[in-house]
Amino acid sequence: MSIQSNSVSPKQEKHSWKIWWELIRPHTLTAAFVPVLIGTLLALVAEEVNWLLFAAMLIASLLIQAATNLFNEYYDYKRGLDTAESVGIGGGIVRHGMTPKLIMNLALSFYAISLLLGLYICAASSWWLAVIGLICMLIGYVYTGGPIPISSTPFGELFSGFFMGYVIILIAYFIQTGHVTSEVSFVAIPSLILVGLINMANNIRDHDGDKANGRRTLPILLGREKSVRFMAIMFAISYLWVILIVALGIITPWILLILLSIPKAVKATKGFIGKTVPIEMMPAMKATAQTNTIFGLLLSIGLLISYFA
């Protein structure tokens, strides 16, 4: 039997693994994991899969997403957007005393590892992927870095959805098969939308603060109420799109399992209605990310069933 003190020194708290875990914003990592899984399982249905390539692609995507979150932490601090009271941030700098240099070095380290994994992926598939990979990494940086961050414009949702939700599926499929089909392009559309909505949920929550700091995000242009309506419409399009491609015989009907995730999408949308305080919108933000995760996992299960059927 041992007696433990409830007090934690600032130094211990600063280097707690929980702080490091929060720093990379784990709830956003499914935006990298799910597209890689979907693209790989689409390849499995069509051909054989190299699981080592899958692992390399998965780790690289997760590291790029984590690095993007760290860049966001660094530049939001530098621009004075983050304070100890800010909601939804890792808080490594403003709450736990980490230096901005440490955050930037960690982000660049993640990029360096991703680059090495990318070299392996290119060597095993095509060197043309190096260009696409570098573009994705550049977008990850300028999303919050540079003189005009993408995150401060109305195009944040489009860029995050396209590169994280759409392009990753195509790359994950290509490295396994050496080509991309129209079927894969069609199946990737809902992922584009749902990953973009994760970003939009964040921007709806930060609407007032972003507006005060001169940002021009999509929710600021649309207004809070219209943004929630827009989110509901895009959720609906995601599900209707899947029904359409199944009805047209483009993909297996088993992926209609994604319809089971509709209650989570409804919860995410309703969670924003009538809310103006950021902390009150956190459950809705969480539900939005969970919708993407559950949707993607159910789609993946559908693909696996069709493979073994």
pLDDT in tens, 240-269: 999 999 999 999 999 999 999 999 999 999
**Closest Cα partner for 252 from 177, 168, 308?**
308
Burial letters 128-153, b for 16+ CB under 10 A, else e? ebeebbeebbebbbbbbbeeebbbbe
Mean local confidence (pLDDT), 65-73: 86
Mean local confidence (pLDDT), 135-152: 86
- pLDDT tens for residues 262-287? 999 999 999 999 888 888 999 999 99
CB 106 within 8 A of CB 66: no
CATH of domain 26-79+95-308: 1.10.600
